[in-house]
């Protein structure tokens, strides 16, 4: 399977999952139908399914127009109110997209929203807004404990897993990561690499689980240097990784 980015709005990525052996694709989080239709018409690809991670408008806004034009099932979180979803999913489910020759395990990853799900298969994780490269989503609906647990599910995946998030936030996230860990060489190296990619107008997505474990402060709430920096920011002792995570999220919100 390969994943093709379709830029949308200011910084969104809509992902097209393609089996290179055919022209069939699945569309992940189409917040806007127009750039997707343009890409499909240009490349001769044929959509067979839509995969939704959560209910926010920049992820669901293009569903109706795409279904009207192409006709296909829409998979999405059963715990969220998304009227166009035809196949409701929950943590632990599995979907088989026969036209694509693809199978995905469904992971419940609440925090950004309460019903947020992710699609994992073929060494790829389509994670929506739960995790960004070197960052994580804001806690619009969930609690820190929920998001910390969700991120733990991601770090438990194989290190080579490719992470496909829905926004180009990487350089801003790395700027914050560098403030938390100014001596982290992996972060400094990733900043250099991602600046080069953006100068060429190339995506910084995907990253890998292994890279994230080295550079993402939200996955490093157990690391002594991160704990010390976060306690300094908070002005208090923090008792456990969830408390550290919550303070890192507050720090980033105000960075």
Q: What is the mean predicted confidence (pLDDT) over 41-47?
A: 96
Partners of 76 in beta bridges: 88
Write down the mean pLDDT value for the chain: 98
**Residue-level pLDDT at 9:** 97
Environment class of residue 94 by beta-carbon count within 10 Å: exposed (0-12), middle (13-18) or buried (19+)? exposed
Please choose, from the candidates 121, 91, 176, 159, the residue with its C-alpha nearest in 3D space to the C-alpha of residue 3. Answer: 121
* pLDDT band (50, 70, 90) for residue 6: very high
**pTM across the whole model:** 0.97
Please choose, from the candidates 104, 164, 105, the residue with its C-alpha nearest in 3D space to the C-alpha of residue 130. Answer: 164
> Per residue in 207-250, pLDDT tens?
999 999 999 999 999 999 999 999 999 999 999 999 999 999 99
* pLDDT band (50, 70, 90) for residue 160: very high
**Residue-level pLDDT at 11:** 97
Q: What is the mean predicted confidence (pLDDT) over 190-213?
A: 98
- CATH number belonging to the domain at 2-253, selected among 3.30.390.10, 3.40.50.1980, 3.20.20.70, 3.60.15.10: 3.60.15.10
* pLDDT band (50, 70, 90) for residue 85: very high
**Residue-level pLDDT at 64:** 98
* pLDDT band (50, 70, 90) for residue 52: very high
* pLDDT band (50, 70, 90) for residue 126: very high
**Residue-level pLDDT at 156:** 98
Cβ(30)–Cβ(66) under 8 Å? yes
**Residue-level pLDDT at 128:** 98
**Residue-level pLDDT at 78:** 97
Cis peptide before 142 (omega within 30 of 0): no
Cβ(103)–Cβ(35) under 8 Å? no
Q: What is the mean predicted confidence (pLDDT) over 170-185?
A: 98
**Segments making up each domain of the chain, as ranges:** 2-253
Q: What percent of the chain has pLDDT over 90?
A: 100
**Residue-level pLDDT at 191:** 98
Which residues are designated catalytic?
54, 56, 58-59, 112, 129, 167
Side-chain-side CA neighbours of 58 within 13 Å: the count stands at: 11
């Amino acid at each position: 399977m390969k994943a093709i980015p379709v830029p949308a709005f200011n910084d969104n990525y809509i992902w097209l999952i393609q089996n290179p052996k055919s022209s069939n694709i699945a569309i992940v989080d189409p917040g806007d139908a127009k750039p997707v239709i343009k890409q499909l018409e240009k490349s001769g690809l044929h959509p067979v399914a839509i995969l939704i991670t959560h209910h926010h408008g920049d992820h669901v806004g293009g569903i109706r127009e795409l279904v009207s034009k192409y006709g296909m099932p829409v998979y999405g979180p059963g715990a969220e109110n998304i009227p166009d979803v035809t196949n409701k999913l929950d943590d632990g489910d599995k979907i088989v997209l026969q036209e694509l020759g693809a199978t995905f395990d469904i992971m419940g990853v609440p925090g950004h929203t309460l019903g947020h799900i992710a699609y994992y298969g073929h060494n790829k994780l389509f994670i929506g807004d739960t995790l960004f490269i070197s960052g994580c989503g804001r806690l619009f609906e969930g609690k820190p404990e929920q998001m910390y647990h969700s991120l733990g599910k991601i770090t438990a995946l194989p290190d080579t897993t490719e992470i496909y998030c829905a926004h180009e936030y990487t350089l801003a996230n790395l700027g914050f990561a560098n403030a938390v860990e100014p001596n982290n060489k992996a972060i400094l190296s990733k900043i250099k690499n991602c600046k080069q990619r953006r100068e060429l107008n190339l995506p910084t997505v995907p990253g890998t689980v292994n890279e994230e474990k080295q550079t993402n402060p939200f996955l490093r709430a157990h690391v002594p240097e991160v704990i010390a920096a976060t306690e300094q920011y908070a002005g208090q002792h923090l008792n456990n990784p969830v408390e550290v995570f919550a303070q890192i999220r507050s720090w980033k919100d105000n960075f």
